[in-house]
Chain A
Amino acid sequence: MRKLIYSINLTIDGCADHMKIGPPAADLFEHFIELTRSGDTLLYGRKLYEIMFPYWPDVLKNPEGEAKESIQFAEVFCAVENIVVVSKTLQGVEEKNARIIRSNFEAEVLALKAAPGKNILTGGVELCAQLTQLGLIDEYQFVIYPAIAGAGRRLWDSLGLPDNLPLQLVECKAFQSGFVLLRYVKS
């Protein structure tokens, strides 16, 4: 069974609002490029899908004025083979390699995991809650931004865990830019 990797950027107080976090620094892009290369499927909720698409395909189409690492990420991101969007409301998807899951969430994700291939990459706030409650995430990657947001939507508030969830630390990496990557697997 292949791995489902969850990844998100957070402030120190767990705020997941990407507008409060700002764009990743150059050294962090390298990490995301590597992570994206390790997968062949993106599993996104509607909101994350709408943040990433058509933003990154557009960067690739009009790379002028974009940072080098940003273009590199766009290349790797747009080369991911499968896009799976979980949504009850999304009308349609433009990308030829994208499809929408509207029901049977757990069975669909289990089928994805059972299929051969590289890692499945996921993110977002609601998906984290659903996937965590179902115990489907194999690895969590949190990138901690060096700020306390104060107000803002905390990832953890919507997690709705039925019980404690102990994890096992597999990596802690500090970036020059002040971000810290914390990688955990289910213990």
Chain B
Amino acid sequence: MRHLIFFMHTSLDGFVAGPNGEMNWIKVDEEIFDFVATMTDKADAALYGRATYEMMQGYWPTAGDEPGASKHDIEHSAWYNKVAKIVLSTTMSSEGLENTTVISGQLTENINAIKNREGENIIIFGSPAAAQSLLGLGLVDEFWLFVNPILLGEGRPLFKGIQERTYLALAEAKTFACGVVALHYTKV
């Protein structure tokens, strides 16, 4: 079965964005981009919430073609255009969208159907609201939490509405030179 893998940048105190959506504290650099590329190489589908999808869709389809595009822009843009996109939304329609599936309900059935198909891993980037629904239903197989060396104090929490205690297995803790620690957990 394909694994659904959750990638998220978080502050040390578990926030994914500041109280006004601030994300300028997130540290990303070549080292992190190159590392994430080794993960996207093993994935052929991306899952997003609607808000994150719209952000992605507004940038990645053409990011690799822009003058001055970085190595990461070119690589991730190519990946984005190639992979199947899965969007969780109750308001969006997939009409006219290429290689894109919209899931509006019956999350467990729909996600499991996709996971049971032939293919490589499915990655969730960001999308805190969508991830929380999937987490709550136990559909996430692996977590990569990129813990930034900062206490935000307040903001949008990463983990919300999880009812049951969930035990995970630590697979790896990876340190980046910029002070970010990537914690890799798998479902027990």
Contacts and interface: CB of A to CB of B under 8 A. Distances in A.
A174 B158 contact: no
B175 A172 contact: yes
B37 interface: no
A182 B181 contact: yes
A161 B151 contact: yes
A13 B128 CA distance: 14
> Which applies to chain A's interface (DSSP): helix, strand, loop or mixed?
mixed
Contact of A168 (B149, B151, B168): B149
A179 B183 CA distance: 11
A39 interface: no
Given A144-B183, A154-B14, A169-B179, A178 B150 contact: no
Query: Max chain B CB contacts within 10 Å: which of A142, A154, A169?
Result: A169
A166 interface: yes
Interface in B165-188: 165-170, 172-173, 175, 179-181, 183, 185
B32 interface: no
Given A147-B167, A150-B163, A182-B147, A169 B14 contact: no
Nearest to B22: A164
B172 A174 contact: yes
How big is the A interface, by class? Answer: 35 or more
B170 A150 contact: no
A180 B173 contact: yes
Interface residues of B, number: 32
B129 interface: no
Given A14-B13, A174-B173, A151 B163 contact: yes
Contacts of B179: 167-169
Contacts of B166: 147-148, 150
A12 B185 contact: yes
A184 B151 CA distance: 11
Contact of A148 (B13, B25, B149, B159): B159
B26 to A, nearest CB: 12
B165 A12 contact: no
A54 interface: no
A159 B163 CA distance: 23
A163 B153 contact: yes
A159 B151 contact: yes
B127 to A, nearest CB: 17
A168 B179 CA distance: 7
Contacts of B185: 12, 146
Interface of A: 12-14, 20, 132, 142, 144, 146-151, 154-156, 159-169, 172-174, 178-180, 182, 184, 187
